[in-house]
Amino acid sequence: MKSKKSKKSKKSNLDTNFGVSPVVGMILILAIIAGIMAIIQTEYVPKWDYQKEAQNFNVLTSEASRIPEILTSGVTSTSLHIDVGVNYPQYPFLVNPLSSYGVIEVIPENVSISYKVYDNTVKENYTSSAIVIRPVYLYMPEINITYEYGAVIEYGKNYAKPIMLNQIAFSRNEITLPIVNSTKVLTAVKTINLHFFLLSRGVGKKVYNLTISFKTLYPKLWKSKLEKIYNDSLAKISVSGNVVTVRFKSAMIVSIPAWCMYTKPVSSRTSTMQVSAVVTQPSQVYLNPQGRSSITIQVLDKYGNPASNASVRVWVANTSVCKLLVNNALVDSLNTTTGIDGLSVVYIEGLKQGNTKIFLQSDIPATKGGYNLSVVLINVTKKAGVGRYTIDIIHANGSLVGYYGYGRCCRCWNYYNVYSYDILASVSPKPDKFTPVNVYFLNNSEGVLIQTTEFCNSSGYVHVSITAGVYTTYPLDDSKVVPPQYLVDEKPTEVVVSVGASSTSKQINYT
Residues in the chain: 511
What average pLDDT does this structure show over 299-325? 86
* Whether 117 contacts 254, CB under 8 Å: no
pLDDT digits (tens, 9 = 90+) for 202-248: 888 888 999 999 999 999 999 999 999 999 899 999 999 999 999 99
Residue 253 — very low, low, confident or very high, per pLDDT cuts 50/70/90?
A: very high
Tell me the H-state helices in 40-124.
45-64, 66-71
User: Max alpha carbon distance in the chain (Å)?
Assistant: 160
Residue 468: is its pLDDT beyond 50?
A: no
pLDDT score for 483: 30
Residue 340: is its pLDDT beyond 50?
A: yes
What average pLDDT does this structure show over 272-287? 77
Strands 438-443 and 415-417: parallel
DSSP assignment of 296-352, as one string?
Answer: EEEEEETTS-B-TT-EEEEEES-TTTEEEEETTEEESEEEEE--TTSEEEEEEEE-S
Residue 509: is its pLDDT beyond 60?
A: no
Residue 76, judged by CB atoms within 10 A of its CB (0-12, 13-18, 19+), counts as buried
DSSP 480: P
Residue 367: is its pLDDT beyond 80?
A: no
d(CA 366, CA 274): 9
Residue 265 — very low, low, confident or very high, per pLDDT cuts 50/70/90?
A: low
Max mean pLDDT among 235-239, 301-305, 388-392 falls in 235-239
What average pLDDT does this structure show over 494-511? 53
Residue 428 — very low, low, confident or very high, per pLDDT cuts 50/70/90?
A: very low
Quote the mean pLDDT of the chain.
69
Reference 262, options 136, 64, 80; nearest CA is 80
User: 88 vs 473, which has greater pLDDT?
Assistant: 88
pLDDT score for 101: 82
pLDDT score for 457: 33
d(CA 456, CA 453): 8
CA 102, chain centre distance (Å): 25
pLDDT score for 374: 27
pLDDT digits (tens, 9 = 90+) for 3-56: 555 555 555 554 555 555 777 778 887 888 777 777 777 777 888 888 888 999
Least confident of 109-113, 324-328, 376-380, 496-500: 376-380
pLDDT digits (tens, 9 = 90+) for 52-95: 889 999 999 999 989 988 888 777 778 888 888 888 888 777 77
Residue 240 neighbours by CB under 8 Å, 6+ apart: none
Handedness of CA 83, 85, 91, 92 (dihedral sign): negative
d(CA 217, CA 141): 20
User: 257 vs 483, which has greater pLDDT?
Assistant: 257
Max mean pLDDT among 160-164, 236-240, 391-395, 408-412 falls in 236-240
Handedness of CA 255, 260, 263, 266 (dihedral sign): negative
d(CA 433, CA 166): 36
Residue 366 — very low, low, confident or very high, per pLDDT cuts 50/70/90?
A: very low
Reference 33, options 43, 41, 21, 23; nearest CA is 41
Which residue segments constitute the domains of the chain, with CATH numbers given? 60-88+96-262 (no CATH), 275-366+487-499 (2.60.40.10), 375-483 (no CATH)
C-alpha distances (whole Å) from 140 to each of 102, 283, 336, 378 are 13, 61, 62, 56
Q: Where are the beta strands (DSSP E) in 367-398?
A: 375-383, 388-395
* Whether 145 contacts 137, CB under 8 Å: no
Q: Indicate yes or no: pTM above 0.75.
A: no
Letter for the amino acid at 167? Q
Residue 447: is its pLDDT beyond 90?
A: no
What average pLDDT does this structure show over 180-207? 82
Phi, psi angle pair for 184, to nearest 5°: -65, 130
Residue 417: is its pLDDT beyond 80?
A: no
